[in-house]
Chain A
Amino acid sequence: DIQMTQSPSSVSASVGDRVTITCRASQDISTWLAWYQQKPGKAPMLLIYTASTLQNGVPSRFSGSGSGTDFTLTISSLQPEDFATYYCQQASSFPRTFGRGTKVEIK
């Protein structure tokens, strides 16, 4: 199985801050990477797929980059509704695997 390692596990930030979350795959996954946002009591919501393609309806302050084994999710200017947990997921091979999540908390 491909292991997905996210860092940090949590980050404290203020509204307006730029936040960067990283995800590392245990082997080359090209750009077969997705990012999700999850709020308490809700299902995950797809933000980005194929490493950098924004899902319809997702604000442009979210962006993704990377290829191979190293990927980044960036929130350019954190908004109140962005406080949540973020997960990466590889789509290169079965079984699909997820990172352990990064919780974005209010500073």
Chain B
Amino acid sequence: QLHLHESGPGLVKPSETLSLICNVSGDSISDTTNYWGWIRQSPGKGLEWIGSISYSGNTYYNPALRSRVTISLDTSKNDFSLKVRSLSAADTAFYYCANGLYNYGYWGQGTLVTVSS
């Protein structure tokens, strides 16, 4: 059974960079069948796909966020990460990591990130 768990700061200041990690257990993130993604949810914008990364490190980003987002793998720790730069209040949301490329069968429990000074 695959298990995903997000970790990171709950409060970040405007203009700063958010760093979140998703730790994966139950499978290797570099297994050739695995793709990983980040999705966020805010009351105003609903569910928003941020981007995905393949087992080999190929990335796919939402064009609306591409200039501010980086997703990467750390195979030594079996986790993957999300960085979002130049934060504003509009980035306040629950952030979820998930497994999949076309649809998302396994999700982390989510972490609330609030952007505020």
Whether A100 lies near B103 (C-beta < 8 A) is no
Interface residues on A, range: 20 to 34
Tally inter-chain residue pairs, CB-CB below 8 A. 49
Interface residue from A45, A55, A87, A91 paired with B47 (Cβ < 8 Å): A87
The stretch that binds A, out of B7-15, B60-68, B74-82, is: B60-68
Contacts of A1 in B (CB 8 A): 63
Whether B64 lies near A95 (C-beta < 8 A) is yes
Count of interface residues, chain B, beta-carbon cutoff 8 Å: 20
Interface residue from A42, A55, A101 paired with B105 (Cβ < 8 Å): A55
Segment 16-71 of B: residues with Cβ below 8 Å from A? 46-49, 60-64
Decide yes or no whether A61 CB sits under 8 A from chain B. Answer: no
Interface residue from B46, B60, B64 paired with A101 (Cβ < 8 Å): B46
Whether B49 lies near A46 (C-beta < 8 A) is no
Top 6 A-B residue pairs of the complex, sorted by shortest distance between their CB atoms: A43-B107, A91-B102, A34-B103, A98-B47, A96-B49, A95-B62
15 residue pairs A–B, Cβ–Cβ below 8 Å: A34-B103, A42-B109, A43-B98, A43-B107, A43-B110, A44-B104, A44-B107, A87-B46, A89-B104, A91-B101, A95-B63, A95-B64, A97-B49, A100-B46, A101-B47
Whether A49 lies near B108 (C-beta < 8 A) is no
Contacts of A32 in B (CB 8 A): 102
Whether B46 lies near A49 (C-beta < 8 A) is no
Chain A: CB-nearest residue to B110: A43
Q: How far is the CA of A98 from the CA of B47 in the complex (A)?
A: 6
